[in-house]
Chain A
């Protein structure tokens, strides 16, 4: 019997996707289905003076039109509530977020009314017949500008547009350390807004069953149980046990499908009101103005460093754009997932960080791949590069000087986190070898001598993945614990159904989890089936985000498997007339035998059948073979990485040619190397996208200027070298699989590495810093300014 852990098992979910048999929400058709479309605000800020739906309602094929008032008033005692924020930092100002706007619209794309019609085409037609009388008001789009005197208020209840202020660390100690440092490097910069662009646009469908007074909702969600909880407790008022939420195949998320969205409320409301199943599918244009967006920080940072390269202190103030409403986890991202990461892989002794979360007339901001951690690593790595340049020291040498030593784990940082394990020195050795760092520097020297703009970028990053111990998460503001649930049901023939609260949206859980369970029992992977994404089948779940599924969801399955193995041992001992202590479970063969007597043996399938035959079980044992577990992690896991990028810039056009890229990651033990490498490769390319091209740009009126796949520049197949990957494995000591998060590491490191390379290339021109994205236009202007004796 093959052991599956550590091997690149081909993905069991792939054939259905390759044959066009993926079950995405948009593919769902139910008898008598009607179709919804949402009328959206074309303005970022306006008073709603009136909505006339008469003409829309009169259109042939239109079944109903509902406005925000209709949802609040309800029909038949059924009404909608405000969308809640699930992460409540201290003193959070949480204004209401109605599923459809009432009185005022607060961002372009804010929903105003919903049409239900016989076809999607008719629903779209009817949108044009809804007359909305909007009184335009001034808008604010900039995170820091929102706090300025006289800035238009997004919510009257939030003075200075402030949602929260979140400080962490000893500011006095930091200021003192900075004042004693040989040098203090300072920088003010922007981490630009990004748009997730999962390839599958969001969709929701709902069916109300009047016979059982129960609701089924299909939605493109990374965490269907959380959506059910919020629907039951806040937004629909239907009892939770009368709601079933199904997220079938989900076509990518990158965070944007974690959150509870207005359409998940509007569509069920409409379905119940019209008495028919209703489906809504976002157009991509809608995705751009309604999917929660990412990043968008303005930051001022100061790093103290001594002449020998020792980092002494870090002081950071960030203004984080929350958008028009607080998205489900919005306040978490620039606080507990950002400031706590400021130590990076370094032993900086004192750190202070604070974030102001502000409302603006833009689409809400929440987690996007990495979620706070890429912002932190970009900040730390950019500051470290500046310090190295100030001291005239090689940036890798400076980093090495400040690395947390291998014998210091578990390591308590000055910003709350306790790193579980790591070996950053080994990481550095491997990346320097893999990237050929020294020869890259020599090539660069030669190129510079010829006047060419060649840059080498380095980033060494930490991630806190697998959020989180529930006590910690709730203590920080989470409205729910962040454990995970996993159940294993062994059928009479020895086939196995696994029910997990994690939910794949591309990560390959049907393979990875099957590998884990098959190895636990020593059975064939084909005998294991994974069920996820359905609150009607899976007992409970927290879902997939924050690189948590293997570490937490996988560990829950290990716990359940251990319980089942124990029960199997008891049955075997009873039937073989031996003591339980003498039973040996052979996980290679899937058998249990008596120690020293290999012929006294039972197979997994025999014992599974014995458990339901139930005529010869130990006294008092219940028949059947099914166990459920809830695994609450003892800590985050702390993956680390070191990436090197080499670029050459065309001085005439400013275009960046990414010529080589090498990455060494430590995500602990690896269950499926192919899948992990796929995650890291995909993450790197997304990270490069932020460094070079992607930008969610709002003009001062709050119009999104990059609101299509034409104007929002995502990575395409062209323009990438092949990427060299390697890894080290420092197991996490606190989960049974020894795994750490792998889904976000690529993104966290790549943005910093590529930005570092571009700025390194431009350094000889006196360019100190450029904000991302590092587009040809921006670089060209910087080169031109440098030629005029300028520079930034």
Chain B
């Protein structure tokens, strides 16, 4: 089947089997390997991307379902060589260690923080329940999301 979508601002098309997952299309067809796969049961959130303005787990979306949609992956978050405020906040607050959950964690956090510059610890902790991190113990991620949320005000989300 033929699919077309806008990924990180670029029009792309591809031919896929109907069963192809969005994450496999992004990784294998487009070579955007920043979106990681950490599980096969939609538990871990490492594969989170934005699709038509929503944070979605791209292992749970078929490529054909994304036909015609607008997708942003971790590679599309920084602009003009500048890290997105949420990426910057994860760096500043030591919100990552091995980096594998990080793309999904950052993508989920951007949507979580959108429009909530004073997001609370409890909101962050509840909002990131669908994203596992095995390294950090989450504390610095919570701090990063709060910093990122405050820095996102007025900026692109």
Contacts and interface: CB of A to CB of B under 8 A. Distances in A.
Interface string A249-275: 111101000000000000000000000
Interface string A708-727: 11100011111110110000
B59 to A, nearest CB: 10
A197 interface: yes
A681 B32 contact: no
A536 interface: no
A152 interface: no
Interface string B66-107: 000000011101100001000100111010111111110010
A17 B73 CA distance: 13
B10 interface: no
Contact of A18 (B20, B83, B131, B140): B83
B125 A507 contact: no
A21 interface: yes
Nearest to A681: B137
A681 B136 contact: yes
A526 B145 CA distance: 28
Contacts of A13: 99
Main secondary structure of the interface of B (DSSP, over half): loop
Contacts of B75: 19-21
Question: Interface residues of A toward B: which range?
Answer: 35 or more
Contact of A718 (B94, B98, B129): B129
A283 B19 CA distance: 17
Interface in A274-290: 281, 283-285
Contact of A200 (B32, B43, B98): B98
Task: Choose among B41, B73, B98 the residue with the greatest number of A CB atoms under 10 Å from its CB.
Answer: B98
B94 A678 contact: yes
A283 B125 CA distance: 27
Contact of A678 (B73, B132, B140): B140
Nearest to A688: B137
Interface stretch (A22-30, A413-421, A569-577): A22-30
A690 to B, nearest CB: 13
Given A284-B44, A710-B41, A686 B137 contact: yes
A684 interface: yes
Contacts of A678: 94, 97, 135-136, 140
Nearest to B35: A20
Contacts of A685: 136-139
A58 B111 CA distance: 47
B17 to A, nearest CB: 7
Interface in B126-148: 126, 128-129, 131-142
Contacts of B73: 20
A199 interface: yes
Given A10-B91, A18-B96, A716-B132, A251 B141 contact: no
A675 interface: yes
A196 B132 CA distance: 13
A501 interface: no
A121 B134 contact: no
Given A17-B96, A22-B99, A200-B100, A717 B138 contact: yes
Interface in A366-422: none
Contact of A720 (B87, B92, B125): B125
Interface residues of B, number: 56
A201 interface: yes
B34 A709 contact: no
B44 A199 contact: yes
A96 interface: no
A682 B129 contact: no
Contact of B87 (A18, A249, A675): A18
B113 to A, nearest CB: 14
Given A685-B138, A714-B132, A21 B34 contact: yes
Contact of A20 (B90, B97, B103): B103
B90 A684 contact: no
A643 interface: no
Given A10-B91, A20-B73, A284-B40, A717 B141 contact: yes
Interface string A700-742: 0000000011100011111110110000000000000000000
A24 B96 contact: no
Contact of B39 (A284, A505, A683, A722): A284
A682 B136 contact: yes
B38 interface: yes
Interface in B2-32: 17, 19-20, 27, 31-32
A239 interface: no
Given A18-B87, A19-B34, A251 B99 contact: yes
B33 interface: yes
B138 A715 contact: yes
Contact of A505 (B19, B98, B126, B128): B98
Nearest to A286: B40
B100 A252 contact: yes
Contacts of B40: 283-285
B121 interface: yes
Task: Choose among B27, B41, B126, B141 the residue with the greatest number of A CB atoms under 10 Å from its CB.
Answer: B41
A506 B98 CA distance: 3
B64 interface: no
Contacts of B125: 717-720
B36 A24 contact: yes
B137 A682 contact: yes
Task: Choose among B17, B87, B100, B134 the residue with the greatest number of A CB atoms under 10 Å from its CB.
Answer: B134
Interface in A626-681: 674-675, 677-679, 681
Interface string A425-461: 0000000000000000000000000000000000000
A773 interface: no
A15 interface: yes
Contacts of A709: 39, 41, 43-44, 132
A249 B98 CA distance: 8
A586 interface: no
B44 to A, nearest CB: 6
B91 A200 contact: no
Nearest to A709: B43
Contacts of A718: 125-126, 129
A538 to B, nearest CB: 20
Q: Which 7 A-B pairs give the minimum distances between C-beta atoms? A: A20-B34, A17-B99, A251-B100, A506-B98, A685-B137, A20-B74, A709-B43
14 contacts: A11-B91, A19-B78, A19-B87, A20-B35, A20-B74, A121-B20, A199-B132, A251-B98, A683-B137, A710-B43, A715-B137, A717-B128, A722-B121, A723-B137
Given A252-B98, A678-B97, A723-B139, 8 more contacts: A13-B99, A18-B87, A18-B99, A121-B19, A683-B137, A716-B132, A716-B138, A718-B126
Interface of B: 17, 19-20, 27, 31-41, 43-44, 46, 73-75, 77-78, 83, 87, 90-92, 94, 96-103, 106, 121, 124-126, 128-129, 131-142
